Amino acid sequence: MPRVLQEMETPALLLDEARMERNIERMRRQVERLGVAFRPHVKTNKCIEVARRMMTGPEGPITVSTLLEADYFAGHGVRDILYAVCIAPNKMDHVLALQARGVRMSIILDSVEAARLVAQRLAHAPAGIGVLIEIDADGHRSGVKPESPELLDIARTLEAGGVAVRGVMTHAGSSYDCRSAQALRAMAEQERRAVVLAAGRLRAAGMACPVVSVGATPTGLFAEHLEGVTELRAGVYVFFDLVMAGIGVCDVDDIALSVLATVIGHQREKGWTLLDAGWMAMSRDRGTSSQPLDQGYGLVCDLDGRPLQDYILVGANQEHGIMARRPGAGADTLQLRVGQQVRILPNHACSTAAQYGEYQVVRGGSQVRATWKRFSGW
């Protein structure tokens, strides 16, 4: 296996370990300051080597977005897993199998209908699976409104079926649309208030509701305090990406993930340099297209990870990336040669990483220090 970037076949997914460690340390300090438990989300990395550096202990806790993640991390010794997508009945056998392996599983739901199905299913199952109610803090996705009558209906349906409500959780996905530190702080406070209100209503109705969970990378990093909250969840912070940089959550040089690509040709009259990294290598994610600075399919850097002046992927085919100056930034003055390599920062770490089976770990420089396996799918 080649140990320097220059000898690698491309495209390949690079992970800058020094940047990752800095990102992890930033979140660690923030969690310490906030005084809450930390349950890192592993959906972005799907890799035990990365998750071990994020987790507060070898047995977790962690948050997952798929039960395949739960299987994998359970196989690596993690014993406390929150599956943070509302449960579908066809996944209950799988959850019970994980619990039977010795994992403390938590699931979420947001309707009386689901509460009834889950209570029925757990009636004859061993105790111990935690059920959290998802709260809608910002109208972004799923969850019940914290002030809604349905919140108590769901809780009572569970308790009537013999299932204690373990708590409430929310995810302020709208924080990805924020454009200032002030807006991020306000969104963090909105997220906190929503679950604290919901927990208060459940407790007033006589339920213990021990877990009060919030999280998203932007709100986690910008929260001023998390009074009443017991745990924080966040995942993308470990790598960051151009979307996070675009909303001001990180700087471009905090982005730990990049795609190594090679120049395969030119269309000089158009100012195009063709790379062997297209949308399959970058993913189809165009998350910066709605931001003030559209980064195309990714921001092009030199082999050391320093951005080339205003060069982005302006277009992409399946295995072709079209690199050019940003619209309005002038002509191509770089004139890269066929065979030269570049590194491309992704719009969205979760979707780009999902296209690869491994990370090539670097620490600045072009030496590959390790290869860490990752997985995708369900």
Interacting residues toward its own copies by CB under 8 A: 7-12, 43, 65-67, 85-91, 94, 109-111, 113-114, 117, 136, 141-142, 173, 262-267, 274, 276, 279-281, 283-286, 317-320, 322, 337-339, 341, 348, 350-351, 354-357, 376-378
Nearest approach, Cβ of residue 86 and its own copies (Å): 4
Nearest approach, Cβ of residue 149 and its own copies (Å): 13
Nearest approach, Cβ of residue 58 and its own copies (Å): 26
Q: Which is nearer to its own copies, 99 or 230 (CB)?
A: 99
Q: Which is nearer to its own copies, 85 or 125 (CB)?
A: 85
Nearest approach, Cβ of residue 345 and its own copies (Å): 17
Establish how many alpha carbons lie within 13 A of residue 164's alpha carbon, considering only the half-sphere containing its beta carbon: 12
Contact of 340 with 302, CB cutoff 8 Å: no
Q: Which is nearer to its own copies, 124 or 337 (CB)?
A: 337
Nearest approach, Cβ of residue 10 and its own copies (Å): 6
Q: Which two tokens stand for residue 86?
A: 């509302």
Q: Which two tokens stand for residue 211?
A: 């877990």
Phi-psi region of 158 (alpha: psi -120 to 50; beta: other; left: phi over 0): alpha
Q: Which is nearer to its own copies, 182 or 367 (CB)?
A: 367
Q: Which is nearer to its own copies, 191 or 285 (CB)?
A: 285
Element (H, E) at 273: strand 272-275
Q: Which is nearer to its own copies, 230 or 352 (CB)?
A: 352
Nearest approach, Cβ of residue 348 and its own copies (Å): 8
Establish how many alpha carbons lie within 13 A of residue 214's alpha carbon, considering only the half-sphere containing its beta carbon: 33
Residue with tokens 């009572």: 156
CA distances to 79, 169, 270, 373 from 179, in Å = 37, 24, 33, 35
Q: How do 231-232 and 321-325 pair as beta strands?
A: unpaired
Contact of 171 with 190, CB cutoff 8 Å: no
Q: Which is nearer to its own copies, 230 or 360 (CB)?
A: 360
Nearest approach, Cβ of residue 358 and its own copies (Å): 9
- Asked if residue 146 has a cis previous peptide bond (ω within 30° of 0), the answer is no
Residue 259, classed as helix, strand or coil, is strand
Residue 102, classed as helix, strand or coil, is coil
- What is d(CA 204, CA 365) in angstroms, rounded to the nearest whole number? 57
